[in-house]
Each structure stands twice: as C-alpha cells, then as structure tokens.
A and B are shown apart, each in its own frame.
Chain A
Amino acid sequence: MKRLSWFNVTSLTLGFAFLYLPMLVLIFYSFNSSKLVTVWAGFSTKWYGTLFQNEAFLDAAWITLKVAVLSSCFATVLGTMAAYVLVRGGRFMGRTLFSGMIYAPLVMPEVITGLSLLLLFISIGLDRGVLTIVLAHTTFSMCYVSVVVSSRLMTFDRSLEEAALDLGSTPWEAFRLVTLPIIAPAVISGWLLAFTLSLDDLVIASFTAGPAATTLPIKIFSAVRLGVSPEINALSTIMILIVTVGVVTASLVTKRNAVRAQQEAQAAERATN
C-alpha cells in the first residue's frame, strides 16, 4: 500500500488550507453581529434577515437566475449542435473559421468580449436589458458546452450510430435514440457549466446590461468596491453553500453510477462465461 511522505502530506494540507480558508473565514464572519467585519462581536443571523429584505438584491438575483436559465438552455442546444458539426460534420465551407470561433471565446479576455458585444448591440440599435445579456452569455457559454460535448463525441464508438442507420433509422432518429443518450452526461455537465458561468459573470454583464437589468454580480461588485460588508458575506455564504451541495451531490451520483455500471459489466461477464 502506498503511503504519503511527510512532504506530500504537508503540501496537500497547506494547499487545501490555502484554497478553503478564505471561504471559511467569509462564512464565519457572515454570522458576526458587528457591522465591523473584522471584529468578532458574537453570533447573529441578522445579516441574513436584512439581506432578504433588500429588494434591490432580490430583484438582481431574480434577473440573474432568469438570464442563467435562458442562456444555459440556448447554449446547450447550440453548443451540442456545434460539437456534432465539428466532430461528425465532415468537410464544409468555412470549417476552419467555425472551429476558430468555437475556441477563441474560451481564451478571449472578458473585457474584449463585453466591449465588442456592446458595440454590436448599439450599432444595430438593440436596447440593453435582459435580452442582450442572454445573447451575450449564450454566445460564450455555447463554446464551453461545445468543447465538453465534443470531447465525449470523439471518444464514443461511431459504429453504434452506423448500426442504427443501417437498421433503417433516419439520422435524426439515430441521434435522438442512440447518440443523445450516450452523450447525455456531457450535455448535462455542459449545461451546468453554462449555468454557473452565467451566474458568475460580472464583466460581460456589466457591458451588456442596461440600467433596467442589473444582475447579482454587478450589484455585488458595486457594493464591495466600497469595502467589505456583512450583508455581502451572508450572500456569499448562501451562494457557496448552494454550489457545494450541488457539486458534492453531482460527484456522488457520478460515483454511484460508475459503481453500478461496473457491477453490471461484471454481471454480464459472469453471465456470458
């Protein structure tokens, strides 16, 4: 059995302490009763109370959620289509430009993406609001979805699709009945990625949001520019908890499915022997 050396134990401990302590500190101080964030004055949940009475934050949260749901759904459909075109589409005119446009947004600084989209919306005379943020988020998220889905498409056995086509399926039926169920986990993680990217985004939303539509990150950013505030600590704690529950659940489900698949494979092997 492998044992970790003291060096590895130390680097893992220090590394994970570095990754997690700042967030734990934030959570700890969200229960501080003092307005001064760095002085501990006893346990209190009052900042959660004031947070839920703050209409501006609630409105922003609602808009953020709406934008995230809409843009992640559009991005998943478009991104899956793009992945399918890239991996299975064969040759077509302008393929290089297409794959360039899929990969470029992944490395593009957000300030440039935001600025360029804003200038587009203004030059075509589109009023800034929820719609423009959704369009902007869909555009960069679909590229992430397409990368996740195309890596799954590349590794799966193409003969399964061909078999379906040989047996008389139309290409659409082959996609819906064979390909989609197999790539579904990648499509779902693509959707989740698009959803969190949209929830998180500050820079692109700042450029493309009008005065009528303020998202939560914009609200948080303008509040924390002035310094640390206990209300934002409370809000951060809620957001961290939601993500933690989501990620831990997802990884447990994946693990359980992997174990089950293994058991089934073993059972099948026994049956054939």
Chain B
Amino acid sequence: MTRRTLLIAAPYLWLLVLFFAPFLIVLKISLSDAALAIPPYTPTIKDGVGAMFAELDFENFVFLTEDDLYWKAYFSSFRIALVSTFLTLLVGYPIAYGMAKAPDEWRATLMMLVILPFWTSFLIRVYAWMGILSNEGLLNQLLFWLGLINEPLVILNTNLAVYIGIVYTYLPFMILPIYAALDRLDPSLDEAAQDLGCTRTQAFWLVTIPLSKNGIVAGSFLVFIPALGEFVIPSLLGGSGTLMIGKVLWEEFFNNRDWPVASAVAVILLLLLIIPIVLFQRNQQKQQEAEQ
C-alpha cells in the first residue's frame, strides 16, 4: 500500500509544485502592483502570506481593457490562428487523401516523411523561411528570373509570412489525424455512392468528407490551439504590424519588464483557450466512444 502511495505521490507532487502552483502565482501576480524592484512586483511571499492577499486589485485587468493594443492583439491572434488553420486544412487534406490512396508498400515511407519534420527543430524550420521570403530571397529571385515581377514582393515581416510559417510548421498535426480517419474509411462506400449515380466529385463531398469529419476537427484543433499562443513564428517572420498575444506577453515581460501586466495577459489568454480545449476534448471523447 505504501508503494502505491509513493507511486501516485511522486508524479502528483511534481505536477502540483511545478505546474499547478506556478499558475496560482501567475494569478496572484496579475493582481499585484508593478514595482521597480527586482522581481518587479509587490508584495512577494517574503512579505508574508497575509500581505500577499491584502493588496490585490484588478488594476492590471482594467488596464488591459483600456489599452487598445491588447484588444487588437487578442483579436488579431484569433484571426491569424483561424485563417492559418483553414489554410493548413486546405494544404493538408489533399496530402492526407493522397497518402490514404497510396499503395500499401509506400505508406510506411510516406508516414515517416510526414513525421520527420516534426522531429526537426521548430526554430530551424521557421528560420528556413527567412532566407526564402526576404526581399533578396530565393522566392523573389525566382520570380524575377521568370520575369513575373519587376520589384521584389515584400513578404517577410508581414502577416502573409506568418500564415506560411504556421501552415508549414503545423502541417503534420493536420495530416496525421485526417490520414488516420481516411485510412479507416471503407473504400466500398465510395464505390457504392458512385454505383448509385454520384459523380466522383459528388461522392467525395457527400461521402468521403463527412466520414473524415473527426479527423478534420481533431487536426484543426491541433493547429488552432498552439497557433493562438504562438511566439516564435510572429517574432521571426512577422513584422512590427503583426500583433499576436504570445509576442505581446513576451515583450511585456522581457522588454517592458512589467510582470503584473504580463501575468494578466497570460490569465486572459488561458481563459480564451479554455473554450477550444474543452471542445477538443469533447470531440476526442465522442470519437473514443464511437469506436468502442
């Protein structure tokens, strides 16, 4: 019995101290005042637990609602995440479909080719696009050479580059669940639809797409949720006009050193994420129940 307690207690305590407690601290600091001392907030635990809770107020949250920047940042992260999820679906679905239709002996190799980028450094994959999209970059050189443009297209440091970056880095997360759904699909259903008079396109829209819905939904959440809080992509590929909440939090913390406001931004980001996360979990649960 004591062994069982130990087995439960070790990971449990670890997560309580290093995952749960930090959130309480963030919540607490989001309700504190900024001070110039390091750490730049007051009061701290050293002042005693009583003092910590005596001076709480919602000043930082009020500040967030008053400053336009934060509204815009939340709204624009949401929009960027939504648009890029949709683009990832458009790019990912045909690839997953092609994989599911491929001969069996190719499949292991195709799977490995999709998973391989996932193991490669995220930072390096984002960085790779900097050299391609810049004004003197490869893409512009190619377009020049083809005679399609006379002056370079400005892509790097715009929202377009952020979209490309998100689609590129999160593509495997979209492909894998859709492939899993399509792989399970019985091809005779598609044949039956065609025998009953559907054209191939109709059969695709009326049979294949609805039956792969679970994969589409799972893949979309797997892209949307991390894209919403993304930091690396907007800061390397985006420009000064690219507002994303992960970047704002980072700048609030490292550049402005305003820890209470950074914490308040984190708390609101978390509240925003709860809805898609709960929806995602419900979808996964439904799928599991359907399989049983």
Contacts and interface: CB of A to CB of B under 8 A. Distances in A.
A60 to B, nearest CB: 13
Contacts of A265: none
A185 interface: no
Among A22, A26, A82, A171: residue with most chain B CB under 10 A: A22
Contacts of B17: 120
Interface in A61-90: 78-79, 81-82, 84-85, 89
A109 B273 contact: yes
B137 A232 contact: no
Interface string B1-30: 001100110111011111111110110010
A98 B9 CA distance: 10
Given A12-B95, A12-B98, A117-B18, A22 B262 contact: no
Contacts of B3: 171-172
A27 to B, nearest CB: 9
Interface in A95-142: 97-98, 101-105, 107, 109-112, 115-117, 119-120, 122-124, 135-136, 138-139, 142
Contacts of A102: 15
B188 interface: no
Given A111-B266, A199-B121, A202-B232, A25 B132 contact: yes
Interface in B87-143: 91, 94-95, 97-99, 101-103, 108, 110, 112-117, 119-125, 127-132, 134, 136-138, 141
A29 to B, nearest CB: 7
Interface stretch (B55-63, B208-216, B221-229): B221-229
Nearest to B93: A11
A119 B16 contact: no
Given A23-B128, A202-B123, A139 B18 contact: yes
A123 B225 contact: no
Contacts of B132: 22, 25
Given A79-B11, A115-B249, 11 more contacts: A1-B103, A12-B99, A12-B110, A19-B113, A19-B117, A26-B128, A26-B131, A107-B225, A112-B249, A221-B232, A239-B124
5 contacts: A15-B94, A25-B131, A109-B231, A111-B246, A233-B131
B48 to A, nearest CB: 13
A202 B141 CA distance: 31
Given A25-B131, A109-B229, A244-B116, A255 B108 contact: yes
Contact of A228 (B94, B112, B115, B130): B130
A161 interface: no
A203 B232 contact: yes
A115 B19 contact: no
A217 interface: yes
Interface in A6-24: 7-9, 11-12, 15-16, 18-20, 22-23
Secondary structure call for the A interface: helix
Interface residues of B, number: 84
B18 A119 contact: no
A207 B131 CA distance: 27
Nearest to A23: B128
Given A11-B94, A112-B270, A119-B263, A82 B11 contact: yes
B70 interface: no
Interface of A: 1-2, 4-5, 7-9, 11-12, 15-16, 18-20, 22-23, 25-26, 29, 37-38, 78-79, 81-82, 84-85, 89, 92, 94, 97-98, 101-105, 107, 109-112, 115-117, 119-120, 122-124, 135-136, 138-139, 142, 146, 171-172, 196, 199-200, 202-203, 206-207, 217, 220-221, 224-225, 227-228, 232-233, 236, 239-240, 243-244, 246-248, 251, 255
A18 B14 CA distance: 41
Given A11-B98, A112-B26, A101 B8 contact: no
Contacts of B124: 23, 26, 220, 236, 239-240
Nearest to A135: B18
Contacts, number: 234
A106 to B, nearest CB: 9
B163 interface: no
Nearest to B99: A12
Contact of B127 (A103, A111, A236): A236
B250 interface: yes
B162 interface: no
Nearest to A218: B123
B78 interface: no
B171 interface: yes
Contact of A227 (B12, B113, B130, B253): B130
B253 to A, nearest CB: 6
B121 A228 contact: no
Contact of B16 (A101, A103, A232): A101
A16 B94 CA distance: 11
B91 to A, nearest CB: 7
A105 B26 contact: no
B131 A228 contact: yes
Nearest to B124: A236
